[in-house]
Structure 1
Amino acid sequence: MTTAVPSPVDLVRGARHTAYHLEMRDGYMRSDPWFVAWREGRSEDFQQRKTRPWLDLIREVTARGVEVRRLRIVSEPVSEYIRFEYETTASNIEAGERIRWLPRRRASDLALPGNDCWIIDGETVLFNHFTGEGEVSPEGKELTTDPAVVKLCVTGFDSGWERGIDHEEYRI
């Protein structure tokens, strides 16, 4: 019997204390309608982002005391996609996420996992797999509770978080 891997939404919704997201790519799903709207300067379409379900979820979980952090490790100068993320981060912060940016050159001596991941309550890791173009890979997601893997991810995230720059202070 195959067990389905839960979605990030399900894992974050079920978090009791913490939900940490480690992002290490310079571009993701360039087919995303929000990115396309931003790129094309369609601000009216883009402004609708503030009411999207993800932000509602973040408001829900942070209201019950879950700490949601996102660490973005980025190359500098930043890519177009990272510029998009930077310019649209305010809505995530307004919803309750804490976001830090870590220039890749400052992460060289950190032990980090090989893939982006969600770390839930320091007990569960959901790896996200992407293609070279930044689209979701056919392998999609991988869930683990292996203590050694979880420890690597928690340690890497915490180390990066300490070096990271709060969104309000980071300049691209």
Structure 2
Amino acid sequence: MAEAPAFDELFRLAKRSAVHLEMRDGYMQSDPEYVAWRNGSRGTSRYLDQATSPWLALMRDTTGRGVTIRRARIVSEPVTDYIRFEHHVTTGNVAAGEQVRWLPRRRASDIALPGNDFWLFDDSLVVFLHFTGDGELSLDGDEERTADPAVVRLCSTAFESVWERAVPHEEFEVT
């Protein structure tokens, strides 16, 4: 049996699309980039550096092949400090070709959502991401993959419902 492709390889294998739904108000708060930002550093961040960021290079390469990458974030308002940071560094994602939208949580109440954040590749493979209560990646297995058609349909429908209501990054203001 062949070994499953590494997470970053899924982007290289994508033919049409990769969509990501984020539903938490904080992630990886131990991240040195976030800690520096929280302490007042608003200068250079590896999340903004198009020349050296492996993630941004992967996004540029993927979108450069014609694959559409969309990311939607459901956030509580007022937003948390982490979401303010995430909004700040999202300009790097957008510059690398990602389309990003934000949906205030109060506008998502009637949308059926899966229990975890996910990536959906080519409307055929879902990768759920598992986090601890404080937003760190779970040590018990940070991802779960499925091609189950019912799960794919749930995730696709949820993402498209969020995307339709969400505000484009350039128009979403954090306070």
| Coarse TM-score class (shorter-chain normalised) | over 0.9
Alignment identity in percent? 57
Aligned to 2:35: 36
Partners of 2:109 and 2:12 lie apart in 1 by: 33
Instruction: Decide whether the 8 Å contact of 1:21 with 1:119 is kept in 2.
Output: yes
Change (3 A) 1:7 1:73: farther
Partners of 1:7 and 1:105 lie apart in 2 by: 35
Aligned to 1:24: 23
Instruction: Decide whether the 8 Å contact of 1:5 with 1:141 is kept in 2.
Output: no
Aligned to 1:113: 114
Aligned to 1:142: 144
- Does 2:13 correspond to 1:11? no
Partners of 1:105 and 1:24 lie apart in 2 by: 12
Change (3 A) 1:148 1:36: same
Partners of 1:70 and 1:171 lie apart in 2 by: 17
Compute the displacement of 1:43 (Å): 4.1
Write out aligned runs for 1:86-101 (5 A): 86-101=87-102
Instruction: Decide whether the 8 Å contact of 2:17 with 2:123 is kept in 1.
Output: yes
Partners of 2:133 and 2:69 lie apart in 1 by: 27
Residue by residue, what CA displacement relative to the aligned partner does 1:39-69 show, whole Å, maximum 9, x if unpaired?
A: 2233455267413100000000101100000
Runs of 4+ in 1 over 3 A off after TM superposition: 3-8, 42-45
Please, what TM-score do these two structures have when normalized by structure 2?
Answer: 0.92
Residue by residue, what CA displacement relative to the aligned partner does 1:129-164 show, whole Å, maximum 9, x if unpaired?
A: 000000001221100000000000000000100000
Partners of 1:5 and 1:77 lie apart in 2 by: 40
Partner of 2:152, secondary structure, is helix
Q: Compute the RMSD of aligned alpha carbons.
A: 1.7
Instruction: Decide whether the 8 Å contact of 2:108 with 2:162 is kept in 1.
Output: yes
Partners of 2:5 and 2:144 lie apart in 1 by: 9
Please, what TM-score do these two structures have when normalized by structure 1?
Answer: 0.93
- The structure with the greater share of residues assigned to helix is 1
Kindly provide the amino acid, as one letter, of the partner of residue 162 in structure 2: G
Aligned to 2:54: 53
- Does 2:163 correspond to 1:161? yes
Aligned to 2:128: 127
Instruction: Decide whether the 8 Å contact of 2:48 with 2:91 is kept in 1.
Output: no
Compute the displacement of 1:6 (Å): 4.3
Partners of 1:134 and 1:48 lie apart in 2 by: 18
Q: Which runs of 5+ in 2 are unaligned?
A: none
Kindly provide the amino acid, as one letter, of the partner of residue 98 in structure 1: Q
Compute the displacement of 1:171 (Å): 1.0
